[in-house]
């Protein structure tokens, strides 16, 4: 099996040490390196552990004949655009059951009309992972609140809606929230 562990790790900007430490249970950077280079056989279990560590689907870590890779042509930074030092690919977004989307019809905060937000749905035990990030939270009667999660206390979440002059809102015991993880914007 041909893996893309190294390409995905590099595209995420992570070191071998970071991937190894994020694995559950943690492993060594040397083990991750051996799995990347193929000197150690990659099992489905290892693919799942590494995928979780990288925050991608296990299928993103293997080369599939029907998937087209998106090569990185240039790297853009303060010095301008330049060729990448090593060949790299970007990982196109893939759907997962926990994903929900938001369509932006009118500009607000950092978002423009036409933007699409991809959000990962989180259960209450995971809410702490979304602090200081933009979230979508369900409210009674099929309504929602979108804004920055600024706190959590006694089952309540504190959200600061986007826009000038917005006041903090409190939602008690939401069954889930969805944290914005990817912005899709047409140019």
Model pLDDT for residues 12-54, shown as the tens digit of each residue: 889 999 999 999 999 999 999 999 988 888 889 999 999 999 9
For residues 63 and 172, the model is more confident at 172
For the cut 90, the answer to whether the pLDDT of residue 117 exceeds it is: yes
Residue bearing the bigger pLDDT, 141 or 135: 135
Q: Which domains does the chain show, CATH number per domain?
A: 5-90 (1.10.260.40), 99-184 (2.30.30)
Predicted confidence band of residue 96 (pLDDT cuts 50, 70, 90): confident
Is pLDDT at 3 greater than 80 in this prediction?
Answer: yes
- pLDDT of res. 123: 94
Average pLDDT over residues 131-135: 95
Residue with token string 């929900």? 100
Is the distance from CB of 56 to CB of 8 less than 8 angstroms? Answer: yes
Q: What is the mean pLDDT of the chain?
A: 89
> What is the separation of C-alpha 67 from the centre of its chain, rounded to a whole number of angstroms?
20
What is the pLDDT, as a whole number, of residue 98?
86
Instruction: Quick: pLDDT tens for 136-177.
Output: 999 988 899 999 999 998 889 999 999 888 899 999 999 999
Q: How confident is residue 187, by pLDDT bands cut at 50, 70 and 90?
A: confident
SS3 content of the chain, % helix, strand, coil (to 5): 25, 35, 40
118-152 burial, b at 16+ Cβ within 10 Å, e below that, comes to bbbbbeeeebeebeeebbbbeeeeeeebbbbbeee
pTM higher than 0.85, yes or no? no
Return d(Cα 182, Cα 119) in angstroms, integer. 7
Q: Cis check for the bond before 167: say yes or no (omega within 30 of 0).
A: no
């Amino acid at each position: 099996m041909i893996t893309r562990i190294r390409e995905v790790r590099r595209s995420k900007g992570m070191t071998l040490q970071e991937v190894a430490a994020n694995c559950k249970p943690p492993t060594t950077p040397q083990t991750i390196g051996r799995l990347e280079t193929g000197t150690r056989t990659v099992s489905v279990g290892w693919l799942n552990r590494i995928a979780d560590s990288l925050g991608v689907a296990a299928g993103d870590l293997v080369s599939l004949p029907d998937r087209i890779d998106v090569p990185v042509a240039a790297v853009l930074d303060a010095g301008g655009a330049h060729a990448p030092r090593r060949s790299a690919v970007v990982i196109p977004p893939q759907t997962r059951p926990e994903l929900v989307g938001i369509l932006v019809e009118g500009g607000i905060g950092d978002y423009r009309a036409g933007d699409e937000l991809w959000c990962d749905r989180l259960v209450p035990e995971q809410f702490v992972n979304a602090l200081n990030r933009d979230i979508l939270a369900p409210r009674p009667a099929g309504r929602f609140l979108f804004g920055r999660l600024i706190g959590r206390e006694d089952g309540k979440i504190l959200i600061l809606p986007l826009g000038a002059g917005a006041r903090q809102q409190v939602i008690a015991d939401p069954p889930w929230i969805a944290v914005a993880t990817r912005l899709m914007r047409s140019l």
